[in-house]
Amino acid sequence: MAQTRSSTSLLFPLDLAYSQAGVAQPSVQAIAPDRIPPPYQSLLVHEQDMTLTLERHHGGPLLLRTLSTTTCGGWYMRRVLLVQEYSGRPVEMGAIRVKLDAFPDRIRRQILKNEVPLGRLLRNGGIDFHSRPRAFFAVTPNPEMMGVFWMREPRTLYGRHTELSVGRRRIGDIVEILPLV
């Protein structure tokens, strides 16, 4: 199955979402965390949830814009933009794959509504979760990514692949890519 094979990719589950949509993959290269330039390093190299980190950095709540969703075998995947509430400016593109049965019904229903960033939804819902970065990367954006990030030319962006867990159970994968800062 493509999901299992792709789960070792730096961009999983974003690569799967792009493949399903017929969008060309961006060029990506693994990078050591100490090679990520500021301010990207402080925004990516930590074990906090990205929603809270970005809300602190940008000085306020972020809104969720859903780009695509799919469900397969109990896994829910969505590709989203987090945007500033006051300007609509994108501050992150994320692709998330989570095991829906890991959450109580009320949280599962909220996830499926695609109205609230996952980190805030889990924090506010009292879910004790952990975000553990497993890889960092530099990416040369494809035309689609340039469009969602309002870019005129391809310039190196930075991101991370994160495992999401509740207790000792791994419940998901997240790819988080930041626009030019």
Contact predicate 164/37, CB 8 Å: no
CA distances to 19, 119, 123, 163 from 48, rounded to whole Å, are 29, 9, 11, 12
The mean pLDDT value for 12-35 works out to 95
pLDDT number for residue 160: 98
Q: Do residues 50 and 64 lie in contact, with contact meaning Cβ atoms separated by under 8 Å?
A: no
pLDDT band at 8 (very low <50, low <70, confident <90, very high): low
Overall average pLDDT of the 132-157 stretch: 96
Which runs of consecutive H residues, i.e. helices, occur in the chain? 2-6, 14-21, 40-44, 50-58, 105-113, 118-124, 143-148
Q: What is the pTM of this model?
A: 0.93
Q: What is the pLDDT of residue 53?
A: 95
pLDDT value at 2 more than 60: no
Q: Which domains does the chain have, with CATH numbers?
A: 2-178 (3.40.1410.10)
Local confidence band at 181 (pLDDT 50, 70, 90 cut-offs): confident
Average pLDDT of the segment spanning 159-178: 96
Distance CA 164, CA 170 (A): 6
Residue 122's closest CA among 146, 98, 158? 98
Distance CA 118, CA 49 (A): 9
Q: Average pLDDT, stretch 79-94? A: 95
At 151-168, the pLDDT tens digits run 999 999 999 999 999 989
